[in-house]
Every structure is written in C-alpha cells, then in structure tokens.
Structure 1
Amino acid sequence: MNQLSQWRPDMNDPLPLYQQIEAYIIAKIKSGEWTQGMKLPSQRVLAKQFGVNRSTIVAAMDRLVSAGMLEGNSGGGTRVAGDGEVDDLTLHDSEGIQPSSSPRKHWNDYVEEGMHYPNLPLVQTINRMEFAPHMIRLGTGELSPSLLPEQSMRHLFSEIASSLDTVPLSYEEPLGSLQLRRELCLELGRRGINASPSNVLVVSGALQAFQLISAGLLERQSTILLEKPSYLYSIHAFQSAGVRLAGVPMDAEGLQASALARLKQLRQAVLLYTNPTYHNPTGIVMSEARRTRLMQVCDQIGLPILEDGAYEELWLDHRPPAALKARDTSGQVLYVGTLSKIVSPGLRIGWIVGSERVIERLADIKMQTDYGSSSVSQLMAYHWLHSGYHQRHMEQLREQLRIRRDTMLELLQQDWHDIATWQKPTGGFYIWVTLTGGCSLNKLFDRALSAGILLNVGTLYDRGASRQLRLSYAYAPIEEMKFAMGKLAELIRMQG
C-alpha cells in the first residue's frame, strides 16, 4: 500500500481531518485500487503515515465500518468489505451452464495462490522504506547515487549517439549481443577466466541468472548447499522453484569445505552456491588454500559449483585470490557476474559463464522469459567496457569506498567498541557486526526506523543470526552515516 506514503490530509482545509481521510479511502475503494478483502495497515501505522492523531484514524474508520465500506475484528485487522454483489448471470438451460450464486472473483482472490513466494515481510518493509524521503539507508546493498558514474555515462551516451547509424531497437540473439560477449570475454580474461562468446549468456542482472538456473537446471524438491549466513536466504529465487537451501558453516577463511561431503550425502544436495569474494553479508574473502581445497572436494564428491562474483572487483586493500572459475578446467563451475554492484543497478546487465550446453539451455529459458535483455543496455555496457570508462571508474570508486569504509570503522571504534565486535573488510560493501549484549533485532529495527534509519538485520540472512547486523558503507552519505551510527549505538544501549 505504497499509496499511503504519498498522500496526507490538508491541515489548511476546513474539512475535518477524519472526513478527508474517510473521503480518500472511499475514493480508493470505489476506483478499484483497494479491492475486497485487502487488509489495511494498523491504526498506529495509518496515523503515522497520514501525520494525524490515532483518534482521528479511529473516527474515520468507525464511520467507514458503519457505512459498510470496511469490516474488522480484533484478530484480523481492518479489511475492505465485500460489495455483497453476486453473479446474477442468467443463461438458458440449453447452453448447459447453470447460473452461479457464488461471489464474483476479484484479482485480490489470487494473490496468495501464485507459485512465486512473496518476499519476507521484513524485506517488503525494507523495499518500501528505501524510497521514503529522508531515510538513512545503513544496510543497502548498492552504491550511493553520488558514486554512480553519472558524468561518464552522459559522455558515453553522447559518443554513442553521434556514432550510430541506426538505433538498436531490435531483439538481440539468444545469448545476447555478440560484441558485448566478446568484450566480456576480454574482461574475464584479465581476471584469469578463459571463456569464448559461446560460453557467455547476457542476463538482466545476477538475480535473473539465479532464476534461470533454478528453472532450467534444477528439479523441484532438490537441495543446494550454500554458506550460512547468505544473501540467498533473503530472496526466493530458488525456493519459489521448489528448491531447498541447506547451510554450510563458515569460518574466517570462508565456507568449511570439510563439511561438504557429509552435507551433500545427508541432504542429497545437487550443487553448491558460493559467494567466495567479499561475501554478502559477512564480507569474508575465501582464502587461497580454502579455494584450492574446495575445488578438490567438489571434484571428488561430484558437486557442481555456482559461483557468485558480484563483488569481485571491489577490492580496496589488495586484489583477492582468483575466482574459482579461473581454476576450472572441466566445466565444474558456473560463474555469475554483474555490473549492478560496480557501475549501475539501473543498467540491468549481468552474465553467466559456463559450458556451451548449459549456456544454450539457459538461453532457451531466457528467450521464453523475456526474449532477451535490453538491446540499448547491452550497447551501453559494450561501449562502457570497450572505451576504457570501466577501468577509470573502478579506480575512482575504490578510492571513495576506502574513505567510506575507514570512516565507518572509525565510528564503530568510537561509539560501538563496548557493544559489538567486527572485522575490517578488505573489499565489497559490508561490515558484519555482532552485538555483544542482549538486544531484540526486531525492536531495534522498529526503533531505528522511527529515527529515520533503515537497517538490514542478520536474521534476513540466517535465522540464527539474532545478534548480527549487516552495515553498508556504500550508500549513505558520510554525514548521515555519522549521525546514524551514533544514534544506533544509543538505541542498542537502551536495550542493553
């Protein structure tokens, strides 16, 4: 119900506030935007979003319930009431169809019946509040608008427009733009990953890559192993396809390869998903020795690897060990990369690298899904990589992220030294903080939200991470970061 945050009663209008709210809700119901059975937020939430006292909401709600527009009970909250109409269609008996006396079906009746799982309620709240004005986003997994290469993109747009004979408005071939795939192969080669254009599928970001893999390569009810905690627990790309997730414990060197054989047999797992470089959410970098051991174990037990390389280029102190895919000589590793974390989320360009047979299968599924990623975005991505913009941007971005990381570490040392522990990340976006005292993450989330601070709590990534926070230094401006870190320390101590 995002509409609520965009409207408030007019305090200067002579019409009483409760009547303005009443008229607003009636208009939403009559227009069909709010349909039968839809649940309204609580009176407390409505009062906050409309900027009025709770008694004003109660007055408006009571009048609407009396008028039959809303209905409510103590356990189920307030909902839009049914319209009482029935399907009164009368047909001749000769048509063989009997008139129905059941209520008409609304689209609202289907929202719980789809195959794709809804986001976790907390994720839905985060997704909604990320666009609330004046909200400090302290856990967001994307670059600040100030770090996006806006000026370079303007120049690139201008250069491309002046050199084009025709605007690319047609579909690309199933694997994606050939010139982009060739350029990606050069970029991957600089990281030690050998690939031909036929081994690369262009996708609309890493999330689509996971959806294609779950739909095209995995059977329903199969199980995949992955680090615990993991970003994948906070989304439903695999679960909505009927795939189960089973966690593998981690230590300072990454996921514990020694646990894989036992877990594979115990859970009948079909593959391993891993984010070995600047892991989301912990920031851990899998060590060189652990990567070597992981490849050996997975080869011995016959466990394919899905490698997420989304943060690989975001090294701040020194280059990380080479990707698992760079060590792959037998097609054991399927590698996913993206420009979303390092250039622009809005470009929606990512890629999958694998054997030709696997890539062709995934390309077929993608053609059935969206008939190819944006041709314009693919053209932009090609020129971005080909014209040298990317390397210049990465040098500037690393410099800015170092400043932000060091600032957050200083703030932690200054304000959090007695309430939490953490490790210095050497790249990526995140600091995984463990609170040392008793603290309800749900209460902390709500209190932070009331203070204008949006958090990503640890339980999003592992139900057992009840004392952890994923803090990001990539999004909030430094001045907002300073305020938010100090305020959060106060809120944590209030619960201690």
Structure 2
Amino acid sequence: MEWKVDREADKPLYQQIFEYIEEKISYGEYPPGSLLPSERKLAQQLNVNRMTIAHVYDELQASGLVERKKGSGTRVSSHKWGILPKGVTNWRKYIEGGSFIPSYPLIRRIRGEAKVMEGGYNLASGKLSSDLFPTDYLQSILSEYTFPTDLGYEHPQGLLSLRETIASYVKTYHNIHTTSSSVLITSGAQQALHLITQCLLNPGDAVAIEAPSYFYSLPLFQSAGLRIFGLPVDSEGMNPDDIMTLYKKHKIRMIFLNPTYHSPTGAILSSTRRLQVLEIAAELGIPIVEDDPVSLLSFDNEQHSPIKSFDRNGNVLYVGSLSKVIGSSLRIGWLIGPQSVINRLADAREQIDFGLSVFPQIIANLLLQSSEYPKHLEFLRQELLERRNEMLSALQDLLGDKIEFTIPKGGFFIWCKLNKSVDDQKLVEAGIKHKILFMPGSVYGSPNGYVRLTFAHLKKESIRDAVSQFAEVLNQV
C-alpha cells in the first residue's frame, strides 16, 4: 500500500486511517459492495495494531459507510448514504463477471502475503534472490550505451537486433536453428502462452499438459474455455504413450510441456521420450508448445537439448525467457515457430499494446551480446547449486523421514512429499501465521500433501532457518 500513516502528526492514527478510507469511498475507488481488506491484513499493510483497524471499521460502520457481517468481512455500504452520486455503477457484478478468470484463491492468498510480509521467509517465489541479479555488469553496459533518438513504434515482432541475437543465442545454447523472422519477442513467457491459447485455439478445444504442472496454476487455459487433460509425470517426465491415449479419447489439439527441470517436480524428460513425443505429435498432426525457462541452469554441466532442436517440420512452438537467468522484472521472453504463426500472434499482440517498450529490449540485447553473460550463467549455476545443497541438507537434518523429495539436477525448486495427512489450506494458513510461504501441490494439480520449495529466492545463509520454520509449521498442523 502506497499510503502510510503519519506517526508524527497530532491526529490519532485511527482518525488518519478513517479519513483515508472515507476518501477512497467518496472518490469511488472503493465502490458500493466492494470488500475491504480484513482487519489483520490492513493492520499488516499499515504497520499498526489490529485493534486500531477494528476501531476504524467500527467508526465507518457507525457512519453508515460500511456494512459488517461475521464470516463475510467488511463491505462498502450498497445503499445511498449521501456521499456517492446517484446511479453508481455496481462494479462488483462486473468484477465477478468477464471471461478472464482470476488467479486461484490460494495463489492470490500467498502472493498477497508476500507483498506485505515483513521479515519471514518466502519459499513460494519463482524469482531470483536480489544478490543473484547481474547488477554490476548491467550498470557497466548501460553507462556506455547511447539510447536511440527515435522512440516510435517498433516492429510488431519486436526489436530486430534483439530477434537476431535471440536466433544466434538459441543456436549457440540449444542447437535450435531459426531466423529473426520466426522470433516473436514477448512480455515474458506468460504473454507467449496467453497469445497461443487466445489465438490458436477455440473454446471447447482439448489440450494436454503434464500432471502435476505449473500450467495448472494459470487460469488462462480456463479463461480461453479449453478442456485440460493431464499427462502423469514420473522420474523421466511424462509418458509419450499417454498422448495417444488422450488423443483417442478427447481429440486433443495441442500439447503443453515443460520438459527440462519441470516445474514443480524437477523431472527431466529423457532424450528417448523427447523424440517419441515429437514423432507422435507429427503423426497426429498436433503442435507442441515447449516452455523452457531454466534448461541452462544445470548443476552437473549436462545440457538437455530442447524438443525444438529436433524439430524439422515446424511442429514445435518454443517459448523462452530471461526471467530465470537475468531477472523477472525485465519482462523479456520469446516465442519461436513457423513464420505464419508468428505473424498471427504478432498481429494480435499489436492490437493489445502496439508492442513492447524498446528499453527492456535494448537492455536484453546488450546483456546477451556481452562477453560477461556466459560468466553470469556460470556464477548463477554455482550459486544455485550451493543453495540447493544447503536446502537438501536442512531438509534431511530437520525433517528426516517426515518428508520425501527428489534431488533436482537444475532449476529453482525442490518437490516434496509430506509423509503425513495435511490439508493444503490449513498448512498454508499456518505458514502465513509463522511468516513462512511455500507453494502447496494442489495449485499444480496434485493432491494434498505435496509442496514446492524454492531455494533460488533466499540467500544461502537464510535457507536453514527457513526450513526450520517450515518444519515447525508442519509439526503443528
């Protein structure tokens, strides 16, 4: 929350907060029927005692500005009480409508807490720790660069020089052969997936994704009206034979895969299975969407060739990103595919935002062309390996036989099975109470009793304390 109480002012804190909320209501920023934050959450956001917020809400209720109902929270009054103009729009009906589905409640709960939590440990985030950002060499590169004077609209597919660099980059690191005309620069991998589901599929179409899968946490599939079917993941990734089974039953039209250091399990689709997947998809005439955010972050120097590197018929749409190797806020991703597909998606994206800002594209281009980039990758691999090992050691020492896990050979996460019956909702709430955040398996399509723990977001010296806090929560539920 941007607004803060003034602790040096003569006016009492509760009065400042009352007037702030009253103003938001009168301006229509909190329309009739809208739900206000809970007492506890608002107290956290404003760093005040919960009783202060309770007093504020009591005063707002007495003034007729809000309505309070046990179990339903505090809402702005829906009746006319003199402040709002006549004929106020009922925004609540609009918010609850629309075709784009909100994130799952449990994910919103965790992300909301991450924004306001002071202290504590965040094992839920998929972001790098701040000390892993290439800040110094980024600063050095930018200090020597002269930005362009022409800031008009860029090409719909993105900055040409960056697309050329990406084409060279995927050839060097992934043995993928492409040209700049078959590259679309996107606002991270997420936008690429959104464009694919909105532009290449129709409501009612069936798609296959791994189970469990990060894709289960993305409402964009449901928002597009797609039917989702799972491909169970084992130690070698998903079984290609399951694709044929799903096709016969449901006529799936697209396959979404995260074959290297799969999120959340960390599994690696074997080379044999990669080729089988490609052959089956070609036989059925259905495309593969390959999401590949962390394959360069290998801990044993073994590189796993993307499915796209074997694709000679243009059946694979390859999605890459800099979010996991540079920083998520840079918002640079890319999609590689047949030029006709790229043109279709570029047209749709141009209708939405007329293309990405040129500045992050320039920065990404400079970073990828720099001689320091390979050094950064090596630094990142070593740091993540040390943090993975620290978390593995802490899990073994502090939780023992209470938990089972696979040892990831790359990436950001450790996938854990809890050897006790737990309810994900209760486990997450207990974690929030003790200031420890993690992602429960249910948001990825798994049953209760699984968690995904991130070792990339914490500094090494904090990891054991974080695991200790998680162990305490697990012992209490």
Q: TM-score, normalised by structure 2?
A: 0.93
Distance 1:53 1:395 in 2: 46
Match of 2:205 in 1: 222
Per the alignment, residue 441 of structure 2 pairs with 458
Quote the sequence identity (%): 36
Tell me how far apart the structure 1 counterparts of residues 168 and 53 of structure 2 sit (CA, whole Å).
Answer: 61
Residue 277 of structure 1 contacts residue 320 of structure 1 at CA under 8 Å; is this kept in 2?
no
1:65 to 53, 61, 66: 61
- Specify which of 253, 272, 281 is matched with residue 264 of structure 2: 281
Q: Deviations over 1:23-78 (max 9, x none)?
A: 44323322333221111234454455556666554444333223211113335332
Deviates most, 310-319 or 54-63: 54-63
Residue in 2 that maps onto 1:148: 133
Confirm whether residue 105 of structure 1 aligns to residue 89 of structure 2.
Answer: yes
Report the CA distance shift for 1:174/1:23 in structure 2 as closer, same or farther (over 3 A): closer
When structure 1 is superposed on structure 2, of 67-76 and 424-433 the one drifting more is 67-76
Q: Any conservation in 1 of the 2:387–2:460 contact (CA below 8 Å)?
A: yes
- SS of aligned partner of 2:281: helix
Given residue 233 of structure 1, which amino acid in structure 2 is its aligned partner?
Y
Work out the number of aligned pairs and report it.
474
1:481 correspondence with 2:463 = yes
Instruction: Judge which range, 443-452 or 246-255, deviates more.
Output: 443-452
Q: 1:281 to 1:118 in 2, by over 3 A?
A: same
Could you tell me how far apart the structure 2 residues matched to 1:442 and 1:332 are? 40
Cα offset, 1:458, TM superposition: 1.0
Report the equivalent of 1:393.
Answer: 376
1:125 is aligned to 2:109: yes
Q: Which residue of 1 aligns with 2:170?
A: 188
Alpha-carbon deviations, 1:51-110, whole Å to 9, x = none?
A: 666655444433322321111333533210135179xx9xxxxxxxxxxxx943154542
Contact between 1:137 and 1:455, CA under 8 Å: does it hold in 2?
yes
Is 2:16 the partner of 1:32?
A: no
**Per the alignment, in what secondary structure is the counterpart of residue 78 of structure 1?**
strand
Higher mean Cα deviation, 136-145 or 41-50? 41-50
Q: CA deviation at 1:355?
A: 0.8
Match of 1:98 in 2: none
Structure-2 residue corresponding to 1:311 = 294
CA contact (8 A) 2:5 2:16 kept: no
Structure 1: give runs of 5+ residues left out of the alignment: 90-101
Alignment RMSD, CA only? 2.4
Task: Please tell me whether residue 407 in structure 1 is matched to residue 390 in structure 2.
Answer: yes
| Residues 214-258 of structure 1: CA deviation (Å, up to 9, x unaligned) | 121111121210001111111222221222221111110001111
Residue type matched to 1:104 in 2? Answer: V
Greater Cα offset, 51-60 or 280-289: 51-60
Are the equivalent residues in 1 in contact too, given 2:210–2:257 (CA < 8 A)? Answer: yes
Matches within 5 A, 1:309-458: 309-458=292-441
For each residue in 1:142-183, what CA deviation from the matched residue of structure 2 results, as whole angstroms up to 9, or x when unmatched? 11111010001101101222xx5x345222212222221111
Instruction: Write the distance in 2 (CA, Å) between the matches of 1:356 and 1:64.
Output: 58
Residues 168 and 147 of structure 1: CA distance in aligned 2, closer, same or farther (over 3 Å): farther
Q: Check conservation: 1:147, 1:397, Cα contact below 8 A.
A: yes
> Contact between 2:188 and 2:333, CA under 8 Å: does it hold in 1?
yes
Instruction: Name the SS for the 1:250 alignment partner.
Output: strand
Give, in whole Å, the separation in 2 of the partners of 1:480 and 1:195. Answer: 42
Is 2:65 the counterpart of 1:81?
A: no
Structure 1, 116-125 or 128-137: larger mean CA deviation: 128-137
CA distance in 2, matches of 1:59, 1:375: 49
Q: Which SS does the other structure have where 2:262 is aligned?
A: coil
Deviation of residue 448 (structure 1)? Answer: 1.6
Q: Gapped runs of 5+ residues in structure 2?
A: none
Summarize deviations over 1:188-214 as a string: whole Å, max 9, x none. 112111101111111111001011111
198, 214, 223: which one aligns with 1:231:
214
